[in-house]
Amino acid sequence: MLPKLPRDRLLELCRRMFLIRHFEESLVPLHDKGVFGGHYHLYIGQEATGVPAISCLRSDDYLFTTHRNHGHLLARGAEPKRLLAEILGRVDGLNKGKGGSFHSVAPSLGFLHSSGVVAGIIPLSTGTAYASKALKNGRLTVCLFGDGSLEEGAAPEAFNLASLNKLPVLFLCENNGKYGAGRAVAAGQSSSMAAYPLTDLPKAYKIPAQLIDGIDAGLVHATVSEAVEKIRRGEGPQFIEAQTVRWPGSETNWPSVPHPTDTSLAWDASGVTEKAREWYHSCDPLLVFIRELVEAKQATKDDVAAIERQVKTEIAAAVEFAIASPYPKPEEAERNFFA
């Protein structure tokens, strides 16, 4: 379902989802051509979680994210060209080339730190929440992580601290661990986590926890809004598990694009290779959103196509900008590691 928002907000959500999708797809050829190296992780297939969720926040709220951070940064409004430059290790990148994909930050948008260590950010998020509570500035912290993080001891330690101290933190777990077709099937028991459902883990600490379909933008928006309200009212931490179906492009060793995204796929996915077709047909949150927009008469197919064209132009310009940005000078490595 669609979020209960006015048309212009819905179109903005649509634009941001497209932005993430085309940004992420643009990275694959760049990597394969050797324009940047190192591992990278794409947010494709999770856009309907990140975009509506982050839209519920205030401009001064904190966000922590993981190695799968591009979608979150873009959802929050980071400039694609600066994020891309960072991934390419260039001096005009968000971190001046020092962080790379894993560690991209945007403090003015609330992203103080990204960690490449699974669950590395979970204790940190209790810290910003603790600080906000102590400083009484009303800022909330959203901790964005995947299902794997719950296997790390750091996670229950953080849940305990958050619960004990009634910290203003929203733990948003994006469980993309489900393979296979069809949204009707809930994410099965993980082979690396004995607890099932995952919401049992925060519930053990008396943290209210909900399990939702992360492909349903409207449900994400409503659930996150409600959780945010509760936190702002001082009710303490909240936990949401949003389930999505893993993008088939991540099944290969390095990300690969089974089929370039195009608005038309929302109505006709027959051109997609058989292996990936079912995913694009039923599990692609962006395509689901577009279909719902048009069905609800909030936009025409042409409107949507126009948004996509604009986004593609922006991404193309971002790629040009990033490639043209110089590498930092080598001596920069020795600078700026102490304040």
Partner 1 sequence: MPAKKDDTTELVDLLRRMWLIRAFEEKVSALYAAREIQGLVHLGIGQEATAVGTCSQLKPEDYVFGGHRSHGHAIAKGADINRLMAEIAGRATGYCAGKGGSMHIAAKECGFITATGVVGGTIPLALGAAFAAKERKKGQLAMVFFGDGAGQAGPFHESLNIASLWKLPVIFVCENNGYAEFTPLSAHTKIERLAQHAKTYRIPSSTVDGNDLFAVRQAARKAVEQARAGKGPIFIECLTHRMRGHYEGDPAKYRELSQLAEWKKKDPLARAAKVLKARKLIAAKEIESIEGEARALVEKAAEFALASPVPAPDDVSSQVTA
Partner 2 sequence: MRELAYYEAKFEALDEIMAADSRVHLINGTFLSLSPHRHVFQNLAKKYGDRMMMPPISELGFCGLATGAAMAGLRPIVDLSTGSFIYEAWPQVANEAANAYSMSGGQTRVPVVFHLFHGLRGGGAAQHSGSPQAMLWNCPGLEIVIPSSPRDVKGLLKTAVASDNPTVFVDHTKLLDLRGDVPENDKPIPFGVADIKRAGSDVTLIATSFTVQVCLGAAEKLVKEKINVEVIDPRTLVPFDLATILASVEKTGRVVIADETHQSCGVASEIAARIAESGFDKLKTRIRRVSTLDVPVSYSPPLEEYIGPSESRIIDAVRASVA
Which residues contact partner 1 by CB under 8 A? Answer: 151-157, 160, 163-164, 191-196, 200-201, 203-206
User: Is residue 93 close enough to count as binding partner 2 by CB under 8 A?
Assistant: yes
Q: Which of 16, 41, 68, 113 binds partner 2 (CB under 8 A)?
A: 113
| Binding residues for partner 2, total number by CB under 8 A | 44
State the number of CA atoms in the 13 A half-sphere of 138 facing the CB: 7
Rule CB under 8 A: choose which of 54, 161, 231, 318 binds partner 2.
161
Residue 77 touching partner 2 (CB under 8 A): no
Window of 115-123, 190-198, 244-252, 263-271 that interacts with partner 2 by CB under 8 A:
115-123
Question: Count of CB atoms within 10 A of residue 206's CB?
Answer: 12
Q: What distance in Å separates the CA atoms of residue 29 and residue 337, rounded to the nearest whole number?
A: 32
- Cα 211 from Cα 220, distance rounded (Å): 10
Cβ-based nearer residue to partner 1, 194 or 339? 194
Q: Cα–Cα distance between 229 and 61 in angstroms, integer?
A: 13
Place of tokens 């330690």: 157
Does 124 bind partner 2 (CB under 8 A)? Our answer is: yes
Answer yes or no: are the C-beta atoms of 321 and 85 closer than 8 Å: yes
Our finding on whether 185 is near partner 2 (CB under 8 A) is no
205 touches partner 2 by CB under 8 A: no
Round to the nearest angstrom and report the end-to-end CA distance of the chain. 47
* Per-residue tokens: 28: 């694959």
Check: CB of residue 175 under 8 Å from CB of residue 201: no
Least gap, CB of 250 to partner 1 (angstroms): 23
* Cα-based angle 146, 3, 286 (whole degrees, multiple of 5): 55
Inter-residue contact 19 to 261 (CB < 8 Å): no
Q: In whole angstroms, what is the distance from residue 239 CA to residue 161 CA?
A: 14
Smallest distance from the beta carbon of 41 to partner 2, in angstroms? 17
Stretch binding partner 2 (CB under 8 A), from 157-165, 181-189, 250-258, 270-278: 157-165
- Residues 300 to 339 in contact with partner 2, rule: CB under 8 A: 336-339
Nearest approach in angstroms of CB 239 to partner 1 is 13
**Residue 165 near which of partner 2, partner 1, none (CB within 5-8 Å, type-dependent):** partner 2
* From partner 1, partner 2, none, interface partner of 117 (C-beta below 5 to 8 A by class): partner 2
Work out the number of other CB atoms within 10 angstroms of the CB of residue 155: 22
Instruction: Please list the residues that pair with 241 across neighbouring strands.
Output: 173, 211
**Cβ closer to partner 1: 200 or 320?**
200
Residue type (1 letter), 201: L
Where along the sequence are the contacts to partner 2 (CB under 8 A)? 62, 64, 93-99, 103, 105, 107, 112-113, 115, 117, 120, 122-132, 134-135, 139, 141, 153-154, 157-158, 160-161, 164-165, 336-339
